[in-house]
Amino acid sequence: MTTVARPWGSWNVIFDQKDFKVKYLCVDKGQRLSLQRHQKRSESWIVVKGHPVVVKGKARVLLNPEDSIYIPKGEIHRIEAPHDDVRIIEVQHGICDENDIERLEDDYERK
């Protein structure tokens, strides 16, 4: 399994098929992903470890281990790890292309 480093932590692809992908996300304490949305895929997240704050549309939701949340196509979202390291299983449905990320805000100045 290949680890892909990101400024906020890392991810690994666990399973990859034509119309869905499973990833293991590691978000380091104090870090957060870009505020983003996808036009070609939805995402389901299951918290394995930690207490992430998830931005979903205009809501901010504190999740606990074993909680899950669904992000439909086009929904603005972000994972934040303000309290502790966070581990999430992410299931992408649709066209699972890394280029399908529209970043609206990014702490690391990526486009």
Q: Where are the domains of the chain?
A: 3-105
pLDDT in tens, 31-59: 999 999 999 999 999 999 999 999 999 99
CA distance 52 to 32: 9
Listed residue (57, 38, 45, 44) closest to 101, CA to CA:
38
Q: Which fold has domain 3-105?
A: Jelly Rolls (2.60.120)
CA distance 50 to 19: 29
CB 106 within 8 Å of CB 35: yes
pTM recorded for the entire structure: 0.93
Name the band, by pLDDT with cuts 50, 70 and 90, for residue 97. Answer: confident
